[in-house]
Amino acid sequence: MKRLSDVKRIGFGAMRLAGPGIFGPPADPAQAKQVLQRAVELGVDHIDTSDYYGPYVVNDLIREALHPYPPELVLVTKVGARRDDEGAWLPAFEPDEIKEAVHDNLGRLGVERLGGVNLRFMDGWDGDFTKQWTVLADLQSQGLVCDLGLSNCTAEQVKAAQDVAPVSMVQNAYNVAHREDDKLIDSLAEQGIFYVPFFPLGGFSPLAVDAVQEVADKHRATHMQVALAWLLQRSPNILLIPGTSSVEHLEENLRAAKLALDADDLAALDAVG
C-alpha cells in the first residue's frame, strides 16, 4: 500500500460531500459520487475523510463510488470526535472510543488497512493523550494503519506524541491569510513530517483578500488557484486536500499544481499574513 510519502501534493478533502453543516446526506448523492470518481480519474491518490462527516455519510459515499479502490489510493481518516442527533461536534476521545472508531472506519470504507489516521483534538484541549496515541500505535503495529498524525494540535503535542510513536503528519488550519502555524510548518519540515492544512481556501469563511485576487488576475487564474499554489510553494512538506462538491471546482483546484508564482507574487502574498 502507498503511504503519504508517495502521494501527489494535491489530494481531495471529502468533508464537503455531506449535507449542510457537514451533517446528513448531500442533496444529490449521484453528483457527490461523480466528484469522487472524477478525482480518481484525474490522478488524485490521497482522499481525506472521517466517519463523523455526516456522520458516516461521506465514508459510505467513498465506498459506493470507488470500491474496489485503485491500489495507489491512500485513504486518511480522523478519530477523536463524534456527532449527536442535532449535528453538534462532541469529543469521543476515550482510548476505547479511539480503537472503536478506527475499526468503524475500516469497516465502513471496506478496507483492511487505512492509509493514515489523525488523532483530532477538540479546540483548546490540552490534556494528556498518551493512552490514546498508544492505542493508535498498537493498531499501526497490527498492520491496520500505515501513518499516524495529529489534527488541531500544537508543537508541544507533536513533541509529546513523538516520544511515544512517530508522527507522520499534522493537519491544522492554515492558509495565506491565517498563518499562526508558520513556525510549526518549518519545524515539521526539518523533521520530515507532512503538514496538511485544512481550510486552505478559508473554510466556512472563504478567502477575500485583494492581494490574492490581484495575483490571480495577473495569471488569468482564480483566487482559489493562487491560494493553493502559494501553499505548494510555501514549503515542500505541505500536502493539500481542498474540498468541493463540484466537478468544475475540483478540476480548477487540481490545475493549481501547474501555476508557478514568481518572486513578486510570493512577496505580495507573503505580506498578507
Known catalytic residues? 53
- C-alpha distance from residue 51 to each of 71, 92, 112 (Å): 22, 12, 16
- Give CA–CA dist 237/190, Å, rounded: 9
Shortest CA distance to 11 belongs to which of 228, 158, 163?
Answer: 228
CA distance 105 to 176: 32
For residue 176, give every residue at least 6 positions away whose Cβ sits within 8 Å of its Cβ, in sequence order, or none.
207, 209, 212, 227, 230, 231, 269, 272, 273
Amino acid at 183: K
